């Protein structure tokens, strides 16, 4: 959600163009690259794989609670 906040602040600052001048530098390109890489990483990351590797799952935990 930080990226959404930063974009909202930048849009608000651009709307105040008569009061101040904004010049995007290399940081704007780096920020855009980080946002895109975060989106791609979120698509590729599968939390089920972590549960499978650890040997636990939500279904088996519920089953032990019901039996106990």
Cα–Cα distance list, 55 to 3, 59, 63, 65 (Å):
35, 12, 14, 17
Neighbours of 45 (CB within 10 A): 9
**What tens-digit pLDDT sequence spans the chain (68 residues)?**
777 888 888 888 778 777 777 777 898 889 889 989 988 988 888 778 777 777 665 555 554 555 54
Task: Confirm whether pTM is higher than 0.85.
Answer: no
Number of domains in the chain: 1
- Domain of 29, in residue numbers: 2-67
CA distance 11 to 17: 10
């Amino acid at each position: 959600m930080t990226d959404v906040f930063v974009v909202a602040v930048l849009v608000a600052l651009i709307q105040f163009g008569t009061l101040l001048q904004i010049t995007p530098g290399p940081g704007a390109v780096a920020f855009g690259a980080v946002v895109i890489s975060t989106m791609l990483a979120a698509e590729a990351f599968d939390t089920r794989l972590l549960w499978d590797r650890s040997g636990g799952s939500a279904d088996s935990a519920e089953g032990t609670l019901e039996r106990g």
